[in-house]
Chain A
Amino acid sequence: MQYIPNILFIIALVAGVGYFIKNIRKVIRNIRLGKELDRSDNKKERFKNVAMIALGQSKMVRRPISGILHIVVYVGFLIINIEVLEIIIDGIFGTHRIFAFLGGAYDFLIGSFEILAFLVFVGVVLFWTRRNLIKLKRFWNPEMKGWPKNDGNIILYFEMVLMTLFLVMNASDLQLQELGADHYIKAGAYPISQFIAPLFDGMSETSLMFIERGAWWLHILGILVFLNYLYFSKHLHILLAFPNTYYGDLKPKGELDNLEAVTNEVKLMMDPTADPFAAPADDQAEGEPEKFGASDVTDLNWVQLLNSYTCTECGRCTSECPANQTGKKLSPRKIMMDTRDRLKEVGDNIDKNGSFVDDGKQLLNDYITPEELWACTSCNACVEACPVSISPLSIIIDMRRYLVMEESAAPSDLNNMMSNIENNGAPWPFNQMDRLNWSNE
């Protein structure tokens, strides 16, 4: 009988971690639905970016208030998780505060966890206030209605509850330590929970143990639930920000990628010795002709798909976007959210049917409209603003490529511009032979 808690704990732990791993494998499978892209170069620079941008939060602090609050919550969460290690060992072996033998160091650790927990709580309350009371504009854009809005708040509630449980657990533990209760050895420093402890003054040992055990269990179960919540939430960024900054684009922001499929076609067209009727080389003989640009998530590359899962919908991109600021429909954040939502839909389709079965939908039109795509000025403000190296612009350009090269569906003004370039080498209808006239006008 005495091992029942241990067994229950192990079951909860295995179930919680197991389900999480199962879902993470889905995320990885879905990301791999994207096209290949080689980002194995410049490892040194890439690790530096992870250190600076993800670990060091260098782009977060460009907006000082949210940046510093974010660092508090991030550091707090990271460090308090050391405590989870103790909880797990205690849970499995039925021990209590297994690290207490560290003595002074343990006091220091628990003391710092408490202070951080308190700061996280304050930070999260301020975040909640910014979203719900101050109503910062970027949290109230059209794409933030419904689930995205609730998701943001649920995460904050989770964190408030987890931090409270941690402090309540310590407060009741402190009372029990002072009562000299069996099993509750004197250990740890409680700079914050000492102020919660008086709430439990005069309680019996049994009630205190009930509160302590209750808070302990809810805390660890809460963490396991939260871990599994990530998969269903924008909050995956706490994990994916690291690979995403690693695999981020290192080229100058102005450089758009070169479509090699087009290069091959162009070379063929420009080569006077090429035989247009030649049989394709063996390696190209099979399969469908290459599609230009992207109309669905599987036309995007895997880094773009990783980008979409990494996005935590902070909206800095959208708030910097000149099109969005002037009332156009384009929102770079929505581009990322739509890509992720469609990717999840495709993934669920595969889970259900074994392989993808046409559902009559695609990213273009069903999620992202041409009107949004054509409003982009390619100014890179969104790319510059993203704290975790996401590029909404690269998706916009790939979708424009599909519209133009597969559907000839550019706005008519742009078609005029392009036929001018084709015919006379300038976006306006001027003769190329007049190109030097300015010198003697």
Chain B
Amino acid sequence: MSETVKVPTMAEYMAEGKKPEVLFWVGCAGSFDDRAKKITKAFVKLLHNANVDFAVLGTEESCTGDPAKRAGNEFLFQMQAVTNIEVMNAYEIKKVVTTCPHCFNTLKNEYPVLGGAYEVMHHTQFLKSLLDEGRLKVEGGKFKGKRITFHDPCYLGRANNEYEAPRDLLRKLEVELIEMKRCKRNGLCCGAGGAQMFKEPEPGNKDVNIERTEDALETKPDVIAAGCPFCNTMMTDGVKNKEKEESIQVLDVAELIATAQDL
């Protein structure tokens, strides 16, 4: 994927004396993980496509501290939070959008008490609002009629009660949306949350992502849709483990929309 996308930074905006409509919080996975970078790019294309005036923090962004907080390291979390808040407040950020539900949850719920109060949206919520405002067109394209199942990220769903925005977008793609037996508030975790992404699982008889992939495979999907870079990794690994990667794709909602429109 060697294509350059135009991504303005807050520093550039500042130099020009301008303020963007929204800050795109890329997150660590979105910045460094090869798979997640594709999601980041797809989302940026959609932002350009909808003429959204956005910027990123770039090298001034740092981990929100979510995995440290969930691992029990409140010190490290708050150090990260205070540093990030200082940067964002200096730029007078009002609105933030992110493609990572973990960043979303932390920025939205855990930063205000430390002095960082912003309107924070998950990218599926933001895309939905663009759609509602008529700024973004979502059409079936390649995925029309395909069987798609959506895996609810815990930190978007149960943690923040957002189940419909990603589904509304998928429905707009004119796909056949099939629910897993465990979905929405009963959705099963992919196994990555609570800092599990960064460690080996405890001894057991199965990996959580395999259990969840089996739920997804039961729906006989063409695509497993995700809304989180970590869920994406876990489900992709699960599909590979089941040797289904030839027939089943794991794609972020943003990628689905961007690909459908050939962006």
Binding site for B on A (CB under 8 A): 251-256, 258-259, 262-263, 265-267, 269-270, 292-293, 320, 322-323, 325-330, 371, 374-381, 383-384, 397, 399-405, 410-411, 413-414, 416-418, 421-422, 425-428, 430, 432-441
Contacts and interface: CB of A to CB of B under 8 A. Distances in A.
B59 A258 contact: no
A322 B211 contact: yes
Contacts of B33: 428
Contacts of A267: 82
Interface string B46-69: 000000000010110111010111
B21 interface: no
Contacts of B79: 266, 269-270, 422
B247 interface: no
A253 B208 CA distance: 21
A421 B110 contact: no
Nearest to A400: B72
A109 to B, nearest CB: 40
A379 B155 CA distance: 7
A435 B58 contact: yes
A101 B32 CA distance: 81
Interface stretch (B135-143, B173-181, B184-192): B184-192
B28 interface: yes
B99 to A, nearest CB: 12
B89 interface: no
Contact of B192 (A371, A377, A416, A422): A377
Listed from nearest, the 5 A-B pairs whose CB atoms lie closest are A254-B159, A400-B72, A378-B194, A425-B62, A327-B205
Contacts of B56: 436
Nearest to A428: B32
Majority secondary structure, A binding face = helix
Contact of A381 (B32, B155, B189): B189
A426 B62 contact: yes
B124 to A, nearest CB: 16
B189 A397 contact: no
Contact of A263 (B78, B185, B191, B211): B78
B72 A403 contact: yes
A375 B204 CA distance: 10
Given A377-B194, A430-B31, A436-B56, 13 more contacts: A266-B75, A266-B78, A270-B82, A325-B188, A379-B193, A400-B70, A403-B72, A411-B199, A413-B200, A436-B31, A439-B44, A440-B4, A441-B2
Contacts of A379: 154, 158, 188-189, 193-194
A401 B72 contact: yes
Nearest to A376: B194
Contacts of B68: 417-418, 421
Interface residues of B, number: 75
Interface centre among B2, B31, B59, B62 (most CB of A within 10 A): B31
Interface string B159-182: 111000000000000000000000
Nearest to B67: A427
Contacts of A427: 28, 63, 67, 197-198
B114 interface: yes
A255 B58 contact: no
Nearest to B212: A322
Contact of A439 (B5, B161, B199): B5
B61 A322 contact: no
A256 B69 contact: yes
Nearest to B79: A266
Nearest to B86: A270
B107 to A, nearest CB: 11
B155 A254 contact: yes
Given A252-B159, A413-B198, A322 B189 contact: yes
Contacts of B67: 417-418, 421, 427
A400 B71 contact: yes
Residue of A293, A399, A439, A441 with most chain B CB atoms under a 10 A cut-off: A439
Contacts of A374: 199, 202
Nearest to B37: A438
A405 B194 contact: no
B72 A435 contact: no
Contacts of A430: 28, 31-32
Contacts of B26: 435, 438
B196 interface: yes
Contacts of A413: 198-200
14 contacts: A253-B159, A253-B160, A254-B154, A254-B160, A255-B105, A255-B109, A267-B82, A326-B204, A410-B72, A417-B199, A426-B28, A435-B61, A438-B30, A441-B1
A402 B59 contact: no
Contacts of B14: none
B202 A330 contact: yes
B113 interface: yes
Contacts of B69: 256
A259 B33 CA distance: 31
Contact of A252 (B44, B72, B76, B109): B109
A281 B202 CA distance: 44
Most buried by B among A371, A402, A411: A411
Contacts of B41: 438-439
Contacts of B113: 258
B205 A326 contact: yes
Given A401-B72, A438-B37, A380 B198 contact: no
A422 B195 CA distance: 15
Contacts of A255: 105, 109-110, 159
Nearest to B203: A328
Given A258-B114, A432-B62, A401 B74 contact: yes
